[in-house]
A and B are shown apart, each in its own frame.
Chain A
Amino acid sequence: MSEKVLMKGNEAIAEAAIRAGCRHFFGYPITPQTEVAAYMARRMPKVDGLYLQAESEIAAINMVLGASAAGVRAMTSSSSPGIALKSEGLSYLAGCDLPALVVNVQRGGPGLGGIQPSQSDYFQATRGAGHGDFHLLVLAPNSIQEMVDLTYLAFELADRYRVTAMLLADGILGQMMEPVSLPDPAAADLPPKDWAVTGTGGKRLHNIVNSLYLKPEDLEATNLARYEKYAVIQRREARHEAFLLDDADIVVAAYGASARIAKNAILAARAEGIRAGLLRPVTLWPFPKAAFAQAAKTARAFVTVEMSMGQMIEDVELSVRCAKPVTLCSRVGGMVPAPEQILESIRQAAGGAK
């Protein structure tokens, strides 16, 4: 499908996953991500793949664990409350060092919240996906094309590092439609899955995929080794987009749909003579700390735009070591910030209305 097609974000994730070789999808419907599952239900049987609607989100994530342990590319998708239910499984996936893709198309919370778009699962994705010391590799698309490109990348990085990757989208990106092209994923030189539980054929010792360690010394060593791997990921895989950043006095930090709206406000600020720019994290973990530290050398102030009460702002403050003021511009509960609101925050950061 090199010819462009018109897709919803949710559909684009599903088609990209299939093109990336995923033939095992386990899910449970929840708005606003249901089209991922609906698309998989229609397409998987045509490519000899498996679409399975589990009895719950918890069952689905544990099916992903089982499939991944058997060495295949596996995924699940859900929206905020459903991801919370999966948190035990996410921790077990980390404890087993298993690659997988988990999609979160965020909606408003906490609790049952609502079905309108939100970005209030940033902490959940980057800090609190489950118990124990671990990280998910978190990718944040901001267009339907990036839904495709980052789905490819997520599977590749998950297999390369044996980590679970999360695609953190929001309801806007899941539901909106844009033209998109679906090239074949670039061939990657990935390590063999010689750890997978695929049967020994009587020729080798059996593999064990497990997160239980009877000796605390062994568990400590495993954790230390895992964090050495995380350090490598932090060095190599942090990604960001810069927009009008080089001469920016006011740096707007935003990801996902918020970043698209922020671009309108940045252009409007420039028209008023305020040098504003955008620093958009594409990976939320690892967070592009170096890019923020660099921007802090010349910027006067930072404004984070989030559909949350202020979550990513903590990573921005940590990255700039509080060297420059960081303020928050936000809407929550399923409401979406307007360019005018962001422009006003940029004006305030620049020293108030001229």
Chain B
Amino acid sequence: MVPFPRRLIILAGHYGSGKTNLAVQLALTLRETHDRVAVADLDIVNPYYRTKDAAARLQSAGIRLIASPFAGSNLDAPAMTSETGQIFDDPGLAAVADVGGDDRGALALGRYAAKIAALGADAQMWFVFNQRRPLSATPEDALAILREVEAAGHVPFTGLINNTNLGPDTAPDTVLSSLPVIAELSRLSGLPIIMTSVRRDLCPALTGQIDDLFPLDILQKAEWRL
């Protein structure tokens, strides 16, 4: 079982590591045990693949989406909505915050650093790691990005998520071969590995070989059908 904090999960890390897909899946899981769940899109960097693409799915699950009205539009504005503050201020809300990639994306977090610190153990910030992203493929490169994100967002990480994948080419071996790398990242950073998120159909092949598997359903821009 994933050790969910009581109030807030913050996902940050290298861009393209799979934060948005994971944020939606975590919110759906939270919704099984919480009445009021929200996903907040704090991404001020990425122009296309946004939390908003999952709006219908979230809505049908009764999950609130807090996102910039400009997300997915033609306006290239690094903006967040004022409603974002509610995920820190509303004690009855369980939320997942989807932070933009790298240190540039994490800048948006700094605004809320004091509120996050005040939540103590009720808020956790997890570094999403994909070993098949070339700029974070080694423990040293991943650690450098991790530290840059912390410095830009003024919030320390509390755990690691192994989200290693190759998109449609992901095989059980893709995930297995990443285990020594994230183990080393865990040792270098002093952070625990919270879970390993894996596309749902690959989970049976990995059960028994990896603790704390978290099954993922993959989001797609359905209308493009590439």
Residues of A participating in the B interface, judged by any CB pair closer than 8 Å: 1, 4-8, 11, 15, 31-32, 35, 39, 42-43, 108, 113-116, 171-172, 175-179, 257, 260-261, 264, 334, 336, 338-339
Contact = CB atoms under 8 A, between A and B. Distances in A.
Contacts of B168: 178-179
B120 interface: no
B16 A114 contact: no
Contacts of A5: 132-134, 137, 166
Given A113-B74, A115-B74, A339-B225, A1 B134 contact: yes
Contact of B74 (A11, A43, A116, A176): A116
Contacts of A114: 73-75
B84 interface: no
B121 interface: no
B167 A42 contact: no
B132 A336 contact: no
Contacts of B224: 172, 257, 261, 336
Contacts of A257: 224, 226
Contacts of A43: 135
Contact of A115 (B16, B76, B137, B167): B76
Contacts of A264: 225
A218 to B, nearest CB: 46
A261 B166 contact: no
Contacts of B132: 4-6, 179
A35 B47 CA distance: 11
B201 interface: no
A177 B21 CA distance: 13
B47 A115 contact: yes
Contacts of A178: 167-168
7 contacts: A7-B133, A8-B16, A15-B134, A114-B74, A115-B76, A175-B47, A179-B132
Contacts of A171: 47-48
Q: Which of A6, A108, A257 has the most CB of B within 10 A?
A: A6
The 10 closest A-B pairs by CB, nearest first: A114-B74, A179-B169, A175-B48, A179-B166, A6-B132, A5-B134, A31-B47, A260-B226, A115-B76, A31-B76
B49 interface: yes
B47 A42 contact: no
B203 to A, nearest CB: 19
A7 B132 CA distance: 8
Interface residues of B, number: 25
B223 interface: yes
Interface string B69-113: 000011110000000000000000000000000000000000000
Q: Which of A15, A108, A115 has the most CB of B within 10 A?
A: A115
Nearest to A8: B16
B106 to A, nearest CB: 14
Interface string B204-226: 00000000000000000001111
A114 B226 CA distance: 22
B165 A6 contact: yes
A338 B167 CA distance: 22
A336 B47 contact: no
A86 to B, nearest CB: 19
Contact of A6 (B48, B76, B130): B130
A265 B75 CA distance: 31
A176 B226 CA distance: 10
B133 A6 contact: yes
B223 A336 contact: yes
A32 B74 contact: no
Contacts of B130: 6
Contacts of A4: 132, 166, 169
B135 A177 contact: no
B23 to A, nearest CB: 16
A274 B176 CA distance: 45
Interface string B12-56: 000110000000000000000000000000000011110000000
Given A31-B47, A261-B225, A264-B225, A108 B74 contact: yes
Given A5-B133, A8-B16, A31-B47, A172 B166 contact: no
Nearest to A117: B48
B76 A39 contact: no
Contacts of B15: 35
